[in-house]
Homo-oligomer: A and B are copies of this chain.
Amino acid sequence: MIKTNNSPHARWQALPPASMILSSGMWSQRQAINRQISLRHGYKMLESVGNFHNLRLAAGRVEGKYRGPLYMDSDLYKWLEAVAWEIANNPDDELQRILDESVDLIEAAQTPEGYLNTFYQIAEPERRWVNLKDGHELYCFGHLTHAAVAHHRVTGDGRLLNVARRFADYIDSIFGSGKRAVTDGHPESEMALIELYRETGEQRYLDLALFILEQRGHNLLGANHNASYYQDRVPIKQSTVVEGHAVRALYLASGVTDAYLETGDEAWLKTVQAQWHDFTSGKLFITGGAGSRHDGESFGQPYELPNDRCYCETCAAIASILWNWRMLLTTGEGRFADLIERTLYNGFLSGVSLDGRGFFYVNPLMSRGGYTRPEWHGCACCPPNVMRMLSSITHYFATDDDSGIQIHQYAPGALKAGEISLRIETDFPWQGIVRFTVDESPAAAWALKLRIPGWSAFTTLRINNENVDLSAAHQGYVTIERAWKPGDTIEIDFTISPRLTEAHPRIDPTRGSLAIERGPLVYCLEQIDNPTDIADIEIKESAPLEIEWQPDLMGGTMFIKTEAYAIDVSDWDGALYRTSGKYDVKKQPVQLVAVPYQLWSNRDSGAMRVWIPRAK
């Protein structure tokens, strides 16, 4: 969660923690599982794989060797951030105790001069600040800082914030203009320093963030490295593309957008606008996933969007949400909220199992089977990242400004922003109707902005049961300004009938194929629901798409069924290539059953595919 109240170039203001409390529905269920299961599971894993152990070593409380990869601290900090945000949603004694103990431990682990990185304190003390390319020191600092800001914002307790400040002050004493030049192989600290600036008002933190951003692209990471991988090919202000490691690229873009929000330097904005165009016009998966290659966990070339070997790291989906959120706050354009929605409901949510104990690192759009969510990872960046996103999910649902309130994502619950309270009732995303009731309102007129998602072909709006004209909707939002009174109702109704989506013809692996979508949800075929091999199913485009509510399955979900064909491929007889036009395709009608992509691999590990060949 970020705070843009004092950001001079933010069009809208992010709301403080607990501004929206969910009452029911998909996000509420996921948040409950996150609270009841995942955060506890994460605690146990961080204990068992050594993250806490490393801190105890640094604090001098135990003896032994450092365990795990060098960025272990960051996993713990992300989990801690998740715990802090969750406490804002639901005060919880056990989580509060865990949080307090963790803060004690982190305080104890910090060196007197302010440094804090257990790997470099224990395993390689002589290598502090030596390997900025791969050492993740500023990256770990960044996640510490995000946790510290969360802790302070939620609890008012300044202890962890002071740890982060001491570390930031120490970094600032070494690096900066007139001191040592620096950038970090894994962007993250830029966002963090700017948030620390927002939380503390300390200008030096903003200056240091800007300094780190400006150093990028000047070969500070070493002459022989893969510059694109590290987003170090050109200075940021000359960059026009998203490239290299997807999570790093998108964290960096988030930091650059933060820099614009605080400075108004148009060059930052121009860069992220160009990068966003490059991302969405050539490198974005329909699920909101980012990253086309396993090799380097990286973006590919434009239109290089494989279904089976895409990377679509869960962390990259989260990074995209962080970036698009900042772009939305900057511009007020609904396309950024549209992409947040697409990513949240699909490529992000697929990253965690329904039981809250399994996590995908890679989120492919097609599996030939055998793909499951492990309970933790050797590089465990994704699980705690999922946790912090889920515990702060409502942060992305609404904003305010002097004119009123903006609603970006739809979920049932209660929203409070200043003197305004709204009650929201909806079965979204299963149904397209959202009803708002004004519970409290100031006397003066104010404007309610509601996002009209790009996928809603036709939208209607009723205020106190009277139809309202939507023709003035602008950049994805309809604005209703009036003197609202308690009891006023607003009902917006989106077209949520299932639809078939095609992909740009330059994308090879989706050619001649269709995806099923409904509202914000991308659907997929899972083998378990389909009696014939889903590798050989073709969809009949002209057939109706029928929805079927399954109340008992996967917490309640909407199936989509339609007519399709099962192709008989037996006449290929072990060949992969043959002269065209010599064979008749044999096929028989079948019913196709599709489920939301976010839910795949929760029942078994059978085959899955999003894109379905279109019957000729």
Chain B residues near A503 (CB-CB < 8 A): 576-577
Interface status of A507 (Cβ within 8 A of chain B): yes
| Residue pair B514, A512 in contact (C-beta under 8 Å) | no
Interface status of A42 (Cβ within 8 A of chain B): no
Interface status of A366 (Cβ within 8 A of chain B): yes
Given that A281-B575, A309-B293 are contacting pairs, would A508 and B569 also be in contact in the complex, using a CB cutoff of 8 Å? no
Chain B residues near A541 (CB-CB < 8 A): 580-581
| Residue pair B535, A504 in contact (C-beta under 8 Å) | no
Contact of A308 among B508, B535, B580 (CB under 8 A): B508
| Residue pair B574, A281 in contact (C-beta under 8 Å) | yes
| Residue pair A536, B505 in contact (C-beta under 8 Å) | yes
Distance of A505 from chain B, by nearest CB (Å): 6
Interface status of A226 (Cβ within 8 A of chain B): no
- A33–B567 CA distance with the chains assembled, in angstroms: 49
Q: Which of A135-179 contact B (CB under 8 A)?
A: none
Instruction: Fill in one digit per residue for A292-305: 1 if any B CB lies within 8 Å of its CB, else 0.
Output: 01110000111111
Interface status of A499 (Cβ within 8 A of chain B): yes
- A307–B309 CA distance with the chains assembled, in angstroms: 12
| Residue pair B308, A309 in contact (C-beta under 8 Å) | no
Interface status of A500 (Cβ within 8 A of chain B): yes
- A549–B506 CA distance with the chains assembled, in angstroms: 31
Given that A541-B580, A580-B500 are contacting pairs, would A368 and B574 also be in contact in the complex, using a CB cutoff of 8 Å? no
| Residue pair A508, B506 in contact (C-beta under 8 Å) | no
Contact of A293 among B294, B305, B535, B578 (CB under 8 A): B294
| Residue pair B501, A580 in contact (C-beta under 8 Å) | yes
Interface status of A284 (Cβ within 8 A of chain B): yes
Contact of A578 among B307, B308, B502, B579 (CB under 8 A): B502
Given that A293-B309, A306-B306, A309-B293 are contacting pairs, would A506 and B580 also be in contact in the complex, using a CB cutoff of 8 Å? no
Interface status of A511 (Cβ within 8 A of chain B): yes
Interface status of A61 (Cβ within 8 A of chain B): no
- A138–B515 CA distance with the chains assembled, in angstroms: 50
- A567–B511 CA distance with the chains assembled, in angstroms: 14
Instruction: Fill in one digit per residue for A38-54: 1 if any B CB lies within 8 Å of its CB, else 0.
Output: 00000000000000000
Chain B residues near A457 (CB-CB < 8 A): 579
Q: Which of A329-373 contact B (CB under 8 A)?
A: 366, 368
- A307–B507 CA distance with the chains assembled, in angstroms: 11
| Residue pair B576, A281 in contact (C-beta under 8 Å) | yes
Across the two chains, which residue of chain B brings its CB closest to A301? B368
Contact of A504 among B505, B577, B581 (CB under 8 A): B577
Q: Which of A276-293 contact B (CB under 8 A)?
A: 277, 280-282, 284, 286, 293
Contact of A580 among B302, B511, B514, B575 (CB under 8 A): B514
Chain B residues near A509 (CB-CB < 8 A): 306, 508-509, 511
Interface status of A613 (Cβ within 8 A of chain B): yes
| Residue pair A575, B508 in contact (C-beta under 8 Å) | no
Contact of A576 among B284, B306, B535 (CB under 8 A): B284
- A27–B581 CA distance with the chains assembled, in angstroms: 33
Chain B residues near A366 (CB-CB < 8 A): 508
Interface status of A394 (Cβ within 8 A of chain B): no
Given that A301-B308, A302-B368, A309-B304 are contacting pairs, would A506 and B581 also be in contact in the complex, using a CB cutoff of 8 Å? no
- A300–B306 CA distance with the chains assembled, in angstroms: 13
- A514–B304 CA distance with the chains assembled, in angstroms: 19
Instruction: Fill in one digit per residue for A536-562: 1 if any B CB lies within 8 Å of its CB, else 0.
Output: 100001000000000000000000000
| Residue pair B576, A280 in contact (C-beta under 8 Å) | yes
Contact of A304 among B303, B304, B308, B511 (CB under 8 A): B308
| Residue pair B613, A505 in contact (C-beta under 8 Å) | yes
Chain B residues near A368 (CB-CB < 8 A): 301-304
| Residue pair A508, B578 in contact (C-beta under 8 Å) | no
- A294–B501 CA distance with the chains assembled, in angstroms: 30
- A580–B514 CA distance with the chains assembled, in angstroms: 8
Given that A306-B309, A309-B306, A511-B511 are contacting pairs, would A504 and B576 also be in contact in the complex, using a CB cutoff of 8 Å? yes
Interface centre among A282, A293, A295, A309 (most CB of B within 10 A): A309
| Residue pair B580, A504 in contact (C-beta under 8 Å) | no
Interface status of A399 (Cβ within 8 A of chain B): no
Chain B residues near A500 (CB-CB < 8 A): 579-581
Chain B residues near A535 (CB-CB < 8 A): 303, 506
Chain B residues near A502 (CB-CB < 8 A): 577-580
Chain B residues near A391 (CB-CB < 8 A): none
- A569–B616 CA distance with the chains assembled, in angstroms: 21
| Residue pair A501, B579 in contact (C-beta under 8 Å) | yes
- 7 smallest CB-CB distances across A and B, nearest first, come from A512-B512, A508-B509, A502-B580, A294-B295, A500-B580, A281-B574, A509-B509
Residues of A within 8 A of B (CB): 277, 280-282, 284, 286, 293-295, 300-309, 366, 368, 457, 499-515, 535-536, 541, 567, 569, 572, 574-581, 611, 613, 616
Can you list 14 A-B pairs with a CB-CB distance of less than 8 A? A280-B574, A294-B294, A304-B309, A304-B368, A306-B309, A306-B508, A309-B309, A499-B580, A501-B577, A502-B577, A503-B576, A511-B511, A511-B512, A541-B581
